[in-house]
Homo-oligomer: A and B are copies of this chain.
């Protein structure tokens, strides 16, 4: 009821403002799951998005208990995917691993399993040079394999109440990490499946540049397929490892108010995850990182939700 002046935020008010903010554990990379859970709770965050490596360290059942006991939601599990192998044995291993990830997501009590779908077979390693021999560069074929294998996984996911969440990655990663490069393409692959079985994530870092973004966010929202809204910034110059070129919201070029409004206009009411890969962010104390991301969220994202 104040007019013309600003009240000091109270803890209660801050908690309400943070009611949709989720800590993706990749942001506090060097923290164990226990530390990340405690850090999120301490900062007043209601949700967490664990990566599987941190879950495996303690075991899935214990991780589920730890998070539930802390009163946190699991906004998503990161990550499944890597579905582009040409070789049958590699493909089978990938499908098996994804089935394990689906079970883990169900155990953790989240319905959203983030899928990074994998790069071209020509890639020697993520970020590495292309193989010298010809072949492995058929991008159209690799994309079709992703669609086919999502089809193979969909019944198993549905049976566990888990949604396969396709993540378009920035085209900088099309060769070596994910052949899904736009939100529109992710939605095309999702379309044959029910919205509660195959969804998409809108990650500002990966999609901010897309001239078709507003339309595709609206399409995703209308279809009920937005499973997660992830925020971090596009910063320059790129880090030596381009994967680590993500910045805190507000440090780079992304127009967060505009994209956040587009997401909000679809009626999306889910969590907003902050997922930052950045060596200097990782080197900062975890509590400081959470304080910064909460502050930036309140400035650049939350008012537009």
Residue A170 CB within 8 A of the other chain: yes
A255 touches B210 (CB 8 A): no
> A172, B172: Cβ atoms under 8 Å?
yes
Q: Which B residues touch A88, using CB under 8 A?
A: none
**Complex Cα spacing A128 to B237, Å:** 5
Which chain B residue has the least Cβ–Cβ distance from A131? B253
Within the assembled complex, what's the spacing in Å between the Cα atoms of A295 and B182? 34
Chain B residues closer than 8 Å to A21, beta-carbon distance: none
Residue interface bits A187-222, CB-to-B below 8 A is 1, else 0: 010000000000000000000111110100000000
**One of A109-117, A134-142, A264-272 at the interface:** A134-142
Chain B residues with CB below 8 A from A240, complex form: 240
Taken together, the copies of this chain in the complex come to 2
Most chain B C-beta atoms within 10 Å of own C-beta, residue among A129, A139, A241, A251: A139
Closest B residue to A251 by beta carbon equals B130
Tell me the count of chain A residues lying within 8 A, CB to CB, of chain B. 44
A291 contacts B by Cβ under 8 Å = no
**Cβ contacts under 8 Å, A185 to chain B:** 211-212
- Inter-chain contact A211/B236, CB cutoff 8 Å: no
The answer to whether B120 touches A253, judged by C-beta atoms less than 8 angstroms apart, is yes
Smallest Cβ-Cβ distance to A233: which chain B residue: B130
Q: Complex Cα distance A129/B211, Å?
A: 22
Q: How far is the CA of A214 from the CA of B236 in the complex (A)?
A: 31
Residues of B near A122 (CB, < 8 A) are 253
Contact B171 A184 (CB under 8 A): no
Given contacts A138-B258, A235-B130, contact A253 B211 (CB under 8 A): no
Residues of A within 8 A of B (CB): 120, 122-123, 127-130, 137-140, 143, 170-172, 174-176, 180-182, 184-185, 188, 208-212, 214, 234-238, 240-242, 251-255, 258
